[in-house]
Amino acid sequence: MIRIDIATLFPEMCEAVLSASIIGRARKAGKVEIHCHNIRDYSPDPKHHRVDDTPYGGGKGMVMQPEPIYRCYLDIIRQSQSLPHVVYLSPQGQVFNEQKALAFREYPHLLLLCGHYEGVDERVLERIVDEEISIGDYVLTGGELGAMVITDAVARLCDGVLADASCYEEESHMNGLLEYPQYTRPEVWDGRQVPQVLLSGHHANITRWRTEQSLDRTAKKRPDMMKKYRQQHPKG
């Protein structure tokens, strides 16, 4: 079972998200192990629990100090008795995608480090971080939303979290294409009929229709993905 630790100044933000819905149930059922740690608990300043200071060289904002983060990292190793693959959430990182989620699923232990304010003292990043990941080319106030995105995307790929592997294998991005359209009851809504082929019970025709739809909507919605797909599947 994968273990994911999240080091943050706002663990309550992460707990709220990770206690709900599918991931919350998977945690309760012991399918994934997720722990949120408050970096402030590791401040060497017992009185004010300080974790940040002004940047050397001047400039606006505050920078997270190295020592509380390093202590938090060491405590996670002590608690888990394992060395995590450490990911720093950063707008400067490689952009996260489904392939990255699949790669992260293979690590037995991930530690997601969330920055805040102006960021984190570079020296602790050099000391503990294995890779930097961004969730998109924009700047957020903190790494927590990114850590939630990664945790959700990785956890749903783990055994027993969804009903079975087919639940994620046919989804958008798994094979370089977007998924076909989905319909449920009623058969007619707002004068719009569910495509007849889906009511036919003819599995081969349904599969063919879904493949065509998938190719068609990828070409329309994401021509960039379609171009890549065509390069990888010249005859498909």
* Interface residue list for ligand SAM (CB under 6 A): 89-92, 114-116, 118-120, 134-136, 138-143, 146
Cβ atoms of 50 and 18 within 8 Å: the answer is no
Q: Which is nearer to ligand SAM, 26 or 129 (CB)?
A: 129
Rounded Cα–Cα distance for residues 178 and 106 (Å): 24
Q: Shortest distance, CB of residue 116 to ligand SAM, whole angstroms?
A: 6
Q: Shortest distance, CB of residue 71 to ligand SAM, whole angstroms?
A: 18
Rounded Cα–Cα distance for residues 154 and 170 (Å): 16
Q: Shortest distance, CB of residue 56 to ligand SAM, whole angstroms?
A: 14
Q: Shortest distance, CB of residue 102 to ligand SAM, whole angstroms?
A: 19
- 21-28 long-range contacts, Cβ below 8 Å, gap at least 24? 22/156, 22/161, 22/162, 23/151, 23/152, 23/155, 23/156, 23/161, 26/155, 26/158, 26/160, 26/161
Report the 10 Å Cβ neighbour count for 144: 24
Q: Which is nearer to ligand SAM, 90 or 214 (CB)?
A: 90
Cβ atoms of 96 and 113 within 8 Å: the answer is no
- Tokens at 126, concatenated: 């050099």
Rounded Cα–Cα distance for residues 24 and 45 (Å): 34
Q: Which is nearer to ligand SAM, 43 or 214 (CB)?
A: 43
Rounded Cα–Cα distance for residues 20 and 54 (Å): 36
Q: Which is nearer to ligand SAM, 95 or 103 (CB)?
A: 95
Q: Shortest distance, CB of residue 149 to ligand SAM, whole angstroms?
A: 8
Q: Which residue's beta carbon is nearest to the bound ligand SAM?
A: 115
Q: Which is nearer to ligand SAM, 6 or 162 (CB)?
A: 6
Q: Shortest distance, CB of residue 120 to ligand SAM, whole angstroms?
A: 6
Cβ atoms of 73 and 35 within 8 Å: the answer is no
Q: Which is nearer to ligand SAM, 72 or 215 (CB)?
A: 72
